[in-house]
A and B are shown apart, each in its own frame.
Chain A
Amino acid sequence: MGMGLWGFLAVLSAAAGGISLFVSNPLITSAVWLAACLAVLGLGGVLRQLLKGLEDLERYLKNPDCMPVSKGTWSPSFWESLQKWSARQQTQAEETRQENSRLRLQLQLLERQRTWEQAVLDSIRDAVLVVNEDNQILFANPAARELLNPDAVPEHFSSLETIETAAALREKIHRCRSGRIRHVRHELALNVQGQQRIFEAVFSCLPESSPNSGGVVAVLHDISREREISQMKNEFVSHVSHELKTPLASINAYAEMLVDGEAQDADTIRQFCSIIQSQSLRLNRLIEDILNISRIESGLVKVNRSNHSIALIVRDAVEMIRSYAQEKNITIHAPAPILYDQACVDRDMISQAVINLLSNAVKYTPAGGSVTVGLEVDEAEGRLRVTVTDTGVGIPPEELGRVFEKFYRVQANNHMAKGTGLGLNLVKQIIETVHGGRVFVSSVVGQGSIFGFELPLALTGCAAASVGGSS
């Protein structure tokens, strides 16, 4: 600004100088010079005032709270308008700032909500799938991706049409869409990683007002296990019914024969009565088995622990089962006595477990075979191990992991013998739940099986009677 003023003065001086070159009268020349000087002085004052006003304005704009002291350059109404304008600007700026904060907060909340919803959908074990009207996948939670195609890379997992195993699913989605059914429940079987699984699926059409009208939401709940349990329960009822009714049938039939006088001599009468008695005991044993499992599971069983020689328990159990084995022409080899094999156990329960293992071995071993009982003590580990090895039909590897399950019976060996599927489960409950031991099994189809259990050795004193599990 200063440079401009000096330039202007230089121009004015040059103009005065120029005039003085053309005008020869010194008076006129002096007057021109004087006028030029006065003009320069006057203009300089105006310009200085203007400069100060601009500087005041600049300071005010930089800091509107600080009103300049000298207001001479600008009129009071100008300052008033400027103040009002400035206040409006400040208000608008404040509003914009608040709006920005609100929007930022809303964005954060939306993001948090989205993350939360995603986490909820991702953590649902049921498969949740959303497709549009062309069966393009709009959403699939991890369970749905796992179900439909766990190996697919995301970009190849975009359409239900390309998923081979989803044919049944497509058909139900199509029916739901074409019928415009709000919600419909179906049961469907899908092949999941080579295994047939049963699902209870609910299909819901997206509302017509939604952006994806024609879309369908499918929620699939795997009920394969429930189905299996239900089937096992039905089979159990059937087996238990058979097992309970068989001794009951004998009791009823022999009692009726006695009433009808079909037993014609004292020996026959005695024989019939004896059968009724033995079948009553058999019925009672079966009921006890069922109740024992139930009691152990519910923690209500009374456990009478004391130190016992496991070899003696095994020996007595072998003697109890020997006649049954002889009937089937099966040889039983008992273990050699061991110096120290004491364990803190409930004698009756462990005896029951050994008898169950032995009777199972005899049951599933063809005539002429053998059952060998082994007993080892690992003093270093503080454990003893009982094994029952048979030369029986064996168990297929895929069923081996389930033989200790309640009511489970090996399908392939069902024809060999009757049973409720409770015996091995009772062994597991007695050894693991009550005594804190471990059961195990290994088998080769056609060669035989090894069932057994491990128990801790009684290295210290033995707790008194207790109720419940292995505490």
Chain B
Amino acid sequence: MAERKALVVDDEFHIVQVVAIKLRNNGFEVFTADNGSQAYQLACAHHPDIIVTDYQMPAMTGLELIEKLRKNPDTADTPVLLLTARGFAIDPQQKESLRVAACLSKPFSPREVLHCIEEVLAQRAGV
């Protein structure tokens, strides 16, 4: 079985690093980006199995990134997990229309992130 690929996006270096280490330790090939544009390019180039992105980032928010990914046929179906530190919930309609796989609030648990990713990928694999 080929190694599973994940893309982690956050403008906070330490957050990207901790999620990346957790995923690498659990058998993922991990790509990292600190902004939406870079993340989009990496997603187009490497077709990750899952993307974990922060919501509030300068220049392009997490939701804007997902919107852009959904418009590209190559990335339209890539599941995305959203990390958010916002004081309020993401609009459920927007979440549904952009097919956000799951939302996790900061401060988050890397264990929980991994568990969530495994669940999403298992669902997609039809397990």
Please give the residue numbers on chain A whose beta carbons come within 8 Å of chain B beta carbons, in ascending order: 237-238, 241-242, 245-246, 248-254, 256-257, 260, 262, 264, 275, 279, 415-418
**Which residue, of B12, B14, B18, B86, has the highest number of chain A Cβ atoms within 10 A?**
B14
Identify which of B43-51, B66-74, B93-101, B103-111 touches chain A: B103-111
Q: Which one of B60, B85, B111 lies within 8 Å of A246 (CB-CB)? A: B85
Chain B residue numbers with a CB within 8 Å of A279 are 14
B76 interface residue, CB < 8 Å from A?
Answer: no
Chain B residue numbers with a CB within 8 Å of A248 are 106-107
B59 interface residue, CB < 8 Å from A?
Answer: yes
Asked whether A238 and B15 contact (CB < 8 A) given A246-B106, A256-B109, A415-B58, the answer is no
State the CA gap A246–B86 with chains docked (Å).
10
B22 interface residue, CB < 8 Å from A?
Answer: yes
Q: Which one of A241, A246, A262, A418 lies within 8 Å of B21 (CB-CB)? A: A262
**Which residue, of A254, A264, A279, has the highest number of chain B Cβ atoms within 10 A?**
A254
Chain A residue numbers with a CB within 8 Å of B60 are 415
Output the nearest chain A residue to B59 by Cβ-Cβ distance.
A415
Q: State the 6 A-B residue pairs at the shortest beta-carbon distance, nearest first.
A: A241-B87, A245-B85, A249-B106, A252-B107, A249-B107, A250-B14
Q: Which one of B11, B58, B59, B110 lies within 8 Å of A253 (CB-CB)? A: B110
Chain A residue numbers with a CB within 8 Å of B59 are 415-416
B25 interface residue, CB < 8 Å from A?
Answer: yes
Whole-angstrom distance from the CB of B113 to the nearest CB of chain A? 9
Chain A residue numbers with a CB within 8 Å of B86 are 238, 241-242
Q: Please give the number of chain B residues whose Cβ is less than 8 angstroms from any Cβ of chain A in the complex.
A: 24
Q: Evaluate contact between B85 and A241: CB separation under 8 angstroms.
A: yes
Please give the residue numbers on chain B whose beta carbons come within 8 Å of chain A beta carbons, in ascending order: 11-12, 14-15, 18-19, 21-22, 25, 56, 58-60, 85-88, 105-111
Chain B residue numbers with a CB within 8 Å of A238 are 86-88
State the CA gap A7–B1 with chains docked (Å).
158
Q: Which one of A253, A260, A415 lies within 8 Å of B15 (CB-CB)? A: A253
Q: Evaluate contact between A262 and B25: CB separation under 8 angstroms.
A: yes
Chain B residue numbers with a CB within 8 Å of A262 are 21-22, 25, 110
Whole-angstrom distance from the CB of B116 to the nearest CB of chain A? 14
Q: Which one of B56, B106, B111 lies within 8 Å of A256 (CB-CB)? A: B111
State the CA gap A431–B12 with chains docked (Å).
31
Q: Evaluate contact between A257 and B18: CB separation under 8 angstroms.
A: yes
Q: Evaluate contact between B22 and A418: CB separation under 8 angstroms.
A: no
Q: Evaluate contact between B110 and A245: CB separation under 8 angstroms.
A: no
Q: Evaluate contact between B21 and A245: CB separation under 8 angstroms.
A: no
Query: Can you spell out 9 A-B residue pairs with CB atoms less than 8 angstroms apart?
Result: A245-B85, A246-B12, A246-B85, A250-B14, A252-B107, A252-B108, A253-B15, A253-B108, A415-B60
State the CA gap A250–B14 with chains docked (Å).
6
Asked whether A253 and B87 contact (CB < 8 A) given A262-B25, A262-B110, A418-B58, the answer is no
State the CA gap A257–B111 with chains docked (Å).
8
Output the nearest chain B residue to A251 by Cβ-Cβ distance.
B107
Q: Which one of B56, B58, B109 lies within 8 Å of A252 (CB-CB)? A: B109
Q: Evaluate contact between A250 and B15: CB separation under 8 angstroms.
A: yes
Whole-angstrom distance from the CB of A102 to the nearest CB of chain B? 69
Q: Evaluate contact between B107 and A275: CB separation under 8 angstroms.
A: no
Q: Evaluate contact between B58 and A250: CB separation under 8 angstroms.
A: no
Q: Which one of B15, B85, B111 lies within 8 Å of A242 (CB-CB)? A: B85
Q: Evaluate contact between B58 and A416: CB separation under 8 angstroms.
A: yes
Q: Which one of A245, A416, A418 lies within 8 Å of B106 (CB-CB)? A: A245
State the CA gap A248–B14 with chains docked (Å).
11
Chain A residue numbers with a CB within 8 Å of B25 are 262, 264
Whole-angstrom distance from the CB of B98 to the nearest CB of chain A? 19
